[in-house]
Amino acid sequence: MLVTNNFDYDQEARLLRSHGMTTMSYQRASGHATEYDVIRLGYNYRMDDIRAAIGLVQLGKLKNDLEQRARVRSWYIEALKDNPDIIIPFANYNGFVSNYIFPIVLKNANKEKRDKVREKLHNAGIQTSIHYPPVHLFSCFSENNNQLCKTELAYQSLISLPMYSKLRLQEITYIGEVIQR
| Statement: residue 80 has pLDDT above 80 | yes
pLDDT tens figures, 166-178: 999 999 999 999 9
Q: How far is CA 4 from the centre of its chain?
A: 18
| Residue 72's pLDDT band (cuts 50, 70, 90) | very high
Question: What pLDDT, on the 0 to 100 scale, is given for residue 112?
Answer: 96
Task: Over range 79-104, report the average pLDDT.
Answer: 95
What CA dihedral angle connects 137, 97, 161 and 77, to 10 degrees? 130
**Burial of 72: CB neighbours in 10 Å, binned 0-12, 13-18, 19+:** buried
Q: Domains in the chain and their CATH numbers?
A: 1-46 (no CATH), 62-180 (3.90.1150.10)
Mean pLDDT, the chain, rounded, equals: 92
| Statement: residue 89 has pLDDT above 80 | yes
Question: 111-123 and 149-157 helices cross at what angle (nearest 10)?
Answer: 20
pLDDT tens figures, 43-58: 988 888 899 999 999 9
**Of 32-36, 37-41, 175-179, where does mean pLDDT reach its minimum?**
32-36
Question: What pLDDT, on the 0 to 100 scale, is given for residue 30?
Answer: 80
